[in-house]
Amino acid sequence: MTFSVKHTEETRGSFGDYRYGIYEEGTLIAHFWHDYRGDESGLEFVNGMTDCDPEREIGKFLEGGGSELLTLSKRAIIYINENSP
């Protein structure tokens, strides 16, 4: 399966959450979010199932950013495969 991550283009306040869409084979399956400091995060599957701070460490869920393409970490892919409805 091929996963991709895209930053959600929405207006946010200066201390608002960052949101990302997680896609499997081009279909949106979940939204991942984290606060502006990276202290809190969560995963919301499109069917409504949520999990706050799924990996307990934001840095281990997403990789890349800046000039690099955002991707899911290997741990994130395992987590999604095990918990996706």
Contact 72, 60 (CB under 8 A): no
How much of the chain is helix, strand and coil, in % rounded to 5? 15, 45, 40
- Which pTM does this prediction carry? 0.80
Per the structure, the count of domains in the chain is 1
pLDDT tens for the chain, 85 residues long, are 689 999 887 767 777 788 899 999 999 999 998 887 777 788 889 988 877 765 565 557 888 888 888 899 998 888 888 887 7
What proportion of the chain, given as a percentage, has pLDDT over 70?
Answer: 86
What range defines the domain where residue 27 resides?
3-83
